[in-house]
Structure 1
Amino acid sequence: MTTLHLCIATGQNAANFIPLKQLQAQEIWILETPEMQKQQSAKALSMALKSALPEAQLRTLAFDDSTPANMQAAALQLACDQLDGRDVVFHATGGTKLIVLAIHQQLLNLASGQGRYRLLYADTFQQTLSWLDDTPRQEAMQDVLTRDEQLLLRGYRTTNDTRPAQIQQRAAERAKVTRFMGEKSAQLKGFLSTLNYHANQAADGKSLTRDMDYLPRASTAAGKLLDLAQEHGLLTMDEAYSSITFTNQEAAKYLGGGWVEEYVFLKFTGTLAPTQYTLGAQITHSVSKTSNEIDGIAVANNRALIIECKAKKQDQAQDAIYKLGQLVKQVGGLMARGLYVSAKPVSDTDRARAREYGVDILAGDELATLSDYLRRWKDSEQA
Structure 2
Amino acid sequence: MTTTLHLCIATGQNAANFIPLKQLAAHTIWILETPDMQKQQSAKALSTALKSALPEAPIRTLAFDDSTPQAMQAAALQLACDELDGKDVVFHATGGTKLMVLAIHQQLLNLAAGQGSYRLLYADTAHQTLSWMGDEPRQEPMADVLTLNEQLLLRGYRSSNDTRPAAIQQRASERAKVTRLMGEKSAQIKGFLGALNFHARQAADGKSLVREFDYLPNTHSPAGKLLELAQLQGLLSIDENYNQITFASAEVAEYFCGGWVEEYVFLKFTGTLAPAQYTLGAQITHSVSKTSNEIDGIAVAHNRALIIECKAKKQDQAQDAIYKLGQLVKQVGGLMARGLYVSARQVSDTDRARAREYGVDVLAGEELATLSDYLRQWKDNARA
TM-score (norm 2): 0.98
Matches of residues 73-112 of structure 1 in structure 2 within 5 Å? 73-112=74-113
Asked if the contact 2:156/2:287 (under 8 Å) is kept, the reply is yes
Work out the CA distance in 2 between the residues paired with 1:381 and 1:213: 47
Q: Tell me, what secondary structure is at the counterpart of 2:146? A: coil
In the alignment, does 2:259 pair up with 1:258?
yes
Per the TM alignment, residue 313 of structure 1 is displaced from its structure 2 partner at its CA by: 2.8
Matches of residues 183-194 of structure 1 in structure 2 within 5 Å? 183-194=184-195
Query: Which position in structure 1 is the counterpart of 2:213?
Result: 212
In the alignment, does 2:351 pair up with 1:350?
yes
Work out the CA distance in 2 between the residues paired with 1:381 and 1:252: 37
Matches of residues 12-31 of structure 1 in structure 2 within 5 Å? 12-31=13-32
Deviations 1:321-346 (A, max 9, x none): 00000000000000000000000000
Asked if the contact 1:160/1:278 (under 8 Å) is kept, the reply is no
Asked if the contact 1:157/1:286 (under 8 Å) is kept, the reply is yes
Q: Tell me, what secondary structure is at the counterpart of 1:230? A: helix
Q: Tell me, what secondary structure is at the counterpart of 1:240? A: helix
Amino acid at match of 1:164: P
- Count residues in correspondence: 383
Asked if the contact 1:283/1:292 (under 8 Å) is kept, the reply is yes
Asked if the contact 1:125/1:382 (under 8 Å) is kept, the reply is no
Work out the CA distance in 1 between the residues paired with 2:145 and 2:67: 35
In the alignment, does 2:152 pair up with 1:151?
yes
Amino acid at match of 1:303: R
Asked if the contact 1:309/1:341 (under 8 Å) is kept, the reply is yes
Deviations 1:173-226 (A, max 9, x none): 000000000000110111101110111111111111111122112210010001
Query: Which position in structure 2 is the counterpart of 1:363?
Result: 364
Deviations 1:217-253 (A, max 9, x none): 2210010001011111111111426111111111111
Asked if the contact 1:44/1:153 (under 8 Å) is kept, the reply is yes
Matches of residues 111-130 of structure 1 in structure 2 within 5 Å? 111-130=112-131
Amino acid at match of 2:174: E
Work out the CA distance in 2 between the residues paired with 1:162 and 1:144: 20
Amino acid at match of 1:39: Q
Per the TM alignment, residue 378 of structure 1 is displaced from its structure 2 partner at its CA by: 1.2
Work out the CA distance in 2 between the residues paired with 1:6 and 1:35: 18
Identity %: 83
Amino acid at match of 2:82: D
Deviations 1:266-294 (A, max 9, x none): 11111111111110000000000000000
Q: Which runs of 5+ in 2 are unaligned?
A: none
Work out the CA distance in 1 between the residues paired with 2:246 and 2:140: 62
Query: Which position in structure 1 is the counterpart of 2:317?
Result: 316
Q: Tell me, what secondary structure is at the counterpart of 1:381? A: helix
Amino acid at match of 1:277: Y
Query: Which position in structure 2 is the counterpart of 1:249?
Result: 250
Per the TM alignment, residue 168 of structure 1 is displaced from its structure 2 partner at its CA by: 1.1
Deviations 1:126-169 (A, max 9, x none): 00000001011100000000000000000000034353211111
Work out the CA distance in 1 between the residues paired with 2:230 and 2:382: 40
Work out the CA distance in 1 between the residues paired with 2:45 and 2:249: 46
Work out the CA distance in 2 between the residues paired with 1:107 and 1:167: 55
In the alignment, does 2:286 pair up with 1:285?
yes
Work out the CA distance in 1 between the residues paired with 2:163 and 2:324: 21
Matches of residues 203-242 of structure 1 in structure 2 within 5 Å? 203-240=204-241, 242=243
Work out the CA distance in 2 between the residues paired with 1:194 and 1:325: 30
Moved more, 211-220 or 249-258: 211-220
Amino acid at match of 1:297: I
Asked if the contact 1:9/1:36 (under 8 Å) is kept, the reply is yes
Per the TM alignment, residue 380 of structure 1 is displaced from its structure 2 partner at its CA by: 1.7
Asked if the contact 2:315/2:348 (under 8 Å) is kept, the reply is no
Query: Which position in structure 2 is the counterpart of 1:134?
Result: 135
Query: Which position in structure 2 is the counterpart of 1:7?
Result: 8
Per the TM alignment, residue 382 of structure 1 is displaced from its structure 2 partner at its CA by: 5.8
Work out the CA distance in 2 between the residues paired with 1:250 and 1:281: 21
Query: Which position in structure 1 is the counterpart of 2:336?
Result: 335
Asked if the contact 2:216/2:240 (under 8 Å) is kept, the reply is no
Q: Which runs of 5+ in 1 are unaligned?
A: none
Work out the CA distance in 2 between the residues paired with 1:212 and 1:96: 64
Work out the CA distance in 1 between the residues paired with 2:273 and 2:14: 25
Work out the CA distance in 2 between the residues paired with 1:244 and 1:153: 49
Q: Tell me, what secondary structure is at the counterpart of 2:81? A: helix
Asked if the contact 1:126/1:382 (under 8 Å) is kept, the reply is no
Work out the CA distance in 2 between the residues paired with 1:162 and 1:245: 33
- Alpha-carbon spacing, 1:335–1:382, altered in 2? closer, same or farther (3 Å): farther
Query: Which position in structure 2 is the counterpart of 1:198?
Result: 199
Work out the CA distance in 2 between the residues paired with 1:17 and 1:245: 54
Work out the CA distance in 2 between the residues paired with 1:167 and 1:53: 34
Work out the CA distance in 2 between the residues paired with 1:163 and 1:27: 36
